[in-house]
Amino acid sequence: MKFFIDTANLTQIKEAQTLGILDGVTTNPSLMAKERITGTENIKNHYKAICDIIEGDVSAEVIGTTYEEMIKEGEELAALHPQIVVKLPMIKDGVKACKYFSDNGIRTNITLVFSAGQALLAAKAGATYVSPFIGRLDDISTDGLHLISEIRKVYDNYNFQTEILAASVRHTMHINNCAKIGADVMTGPLSAIEGLLKHPLTDIGLEKFLADYKKGN
Ligand code: E4P
């Protein structure tokens, strides 16, 4: 299972990178705005800065919503760095643009996916990644993890190569459950990733080992 961090914050990306388990970064316009990165050139430079920190895939989202806009913007983003994956919204023109990019060797991530049918379309269009948003489904009392299971089943039925990128992961149990279901990738905050480290018995056990060592030395 690949681990992506869902942030545009360079400090957090560096922190996750030092753990040695980071496979990529996802961003979106809201995450960029949160870091106060504005203006096309600054945003492009920020993507390049992220690519300089990590070795894996970096999803960069288009702002345009027409086919023509998405093609122009996506080509510019892809040209920034070989690690860039063009992130496209799950709308009709986004699907068309996805097919164009997959036919032209540019990797894609279809975002804002909330149903198995949308994920099926993304796979048919040759998306590299599909991003079902599990946290946002949970927010409206709909089981986000159930959607990951449905997409896993559909993709396995037809051996689609599109990777299921469980997005909008909010906490550590989301990661555990996505791993059990078989999501190929998860993207979430650093806090959710670091939550995997925690167990009180680990802390108690280590404390005792160190105390016993001190007694004998
Ligand atoms: C996915 O790529 C999105 O950036 C992200 O996971 C959205 O998460 P949120 O619902 O916590 O905003």
| pLDDT tens digit at each of 217 positions of the chain | 999 999 999 999 999 999 999 999 999 999 999 999 999 999 999 999 999 999 999 999 999 999 999 999 999 999 999 999 999 999 999 999 999 999 999 999 999 999 999 999 999 999 999 999 999 999 999 999 999 999 999 999 999 999 999 999 999 999 999 999 999 999 999 999 999 999 999 999 999 999 999 998 8
pLDDT of residue 216: 87
- Expressed in angstroms and rounded, the spacing between residue 189 Cα and the centre of ligand 1 is 9
Which atom, in ligand 1's list, is nearest to the CA of 135? 10
What's residue 122's pLDDT? 98
CB 187 less than 6 A from any atom of ligand 1: yes
Would you report the helix, strand and coil content of the chain in percent, each value rounded to 5?
Answer: 55, 20, 25
- Its pTM stands at 0.96
Which protein residue's CA is at the shortest distance from atom 12 of ligand 1? 168
CA–CA dist 129, 123 (Å, integer):
8
Is any atom of ligand 1 closer than 6 Å to the C-beta of 133?
yes
Give the pLDDT of residue 168.
98
**173 contact partners, CB below 8 Å, separation of at least 6:** none
Catalytic pick from 34, 44, 87, 153?
A: 87
Residue 167 CB contacts under 8 Å (≥ 6 apart), including other chains:
6, 26, 111, 131, 132, 133, 134, 186, 187
- At 148 the pLDDT is 98
Query: What local confidence, expressed as pLDDT, does residue 54 receive?
Result: 96
Whole-number Å distance, alpha carbon 209 to ligand 1 midpoint, is: 40
Residue whose CA lies nearest to ligand 1 atom number 9: 168
Give the orientation angle of helix 116-124 with respect to helix 92-103, to 10 degrees: 30
Question: Is 72 annotated as catalytic?
Answer: no
Q: Is the CB of 177 under 6 A from ligand 1?
A: no
Task: Count Cα neighbours of 193 within 13 Å in the Cβ-side half-sphere.
Answer: 26
Ligand 1: residue whose CA is nearest its atom 8: 168
